[in-house]
Amino acid sequence: MRTARSEARREREFDEHHGVDTAGIVHLAALDIVSPNKDLGVRYQAANPAAVRRLLAQVPIESGEYVFMDFGAGKGRTALLASEFPFRRVVGVEFSQELVDVARANAARFRSGAQKCRDIEFLCLDAVDIEIPADPVVLFFYNPFGEPVMHRVMERVCGSLDRHPRPAYVVLMGDDELAMLVERAGFVRVAGEGPGARIFGTVARPAGWPETAEQSEHSPGSAIRQPCGACRTVS
């Protein structure tokens, strides 16, 4: 009980400090969502700000090069936290228009002396329909949906990387089952804070490049993605 009260207090403090509304739990049944994947979604509950900041600080991005995408953005807390890092653009993807409206209002009010990126956008889309930008990307997932949806999203990620080879990272705060899908898509773990918080990386190479011994040394910034066809074998 004390832990729950402490967490609720931290949630309120974050919102009050930044002038936003991101706290609380919102069940999908209470929202007007038109999507065949509604039953595969997970309730809205924002990630712990300190945990998100610690994870993003471990992603070896270069200033101004990467686009950050938050899948299941909800009220936008993670996207707002990402704007404190040197991303070129921050995009939140959410299939509830009601939550997108709240997230957009939060982005307009957000106050942070650490903010480095002011290009923040929230899209009302089903995650399986999103087009991945042809830029180096950091893709964030905080347990947003079930395995069938995650599998389809990773297929789209794979297709995008196959068409436009480039560096990409997946930041996952979620279940082992979702982590397995990321790994079977050819990503390798490069950092993280235990089983519930992982960072997977890839530096995509042009098709036909030979694999060398050095490419098997999976360190941040040098992880090599295997052929994305692997993710299409997941049942």
The CATH number, out of the four listed (3.10.180.10, 1.20.1740.10, 3.40.50.150, 3.30.457.10), of the domain defined by the range 2-233: 3.40.50.150
CB 85 within 8 A of CB 117: yes
CA angle, 189 then 193 then 194, to 5°? 80
pLDDT (tens place) for every residue of the chain, 235 residues total: 556 666 667 778 889 999 999 988 877 776 666 666 566 566 668 889 999 999 999 998 877 899 999 999 999 999 999 999 999 999 999 989 999 999 999 999 999 999 999 999 999 999 999 999 999 999 999 988 889 999 999 999 999 999 999 999 999 998 889 999 999 999 999 988 776 899 999 854 434 333 433 333 444 444 444 445 444 433 3
Is this structure's pTM higher than 0.85? no
Q: Where are the domains of the chain?
A: 2-233
Q: Residue 142 CA to chain centroid, in angstroms?
A: 7
What are the C-alpha distances in Å from 25 to residues 71, 76, 159? 17, 13, 34
Helix H segments across the chain? 2-18, 49-57, 77-82, 97-109, 147-163, 176-184
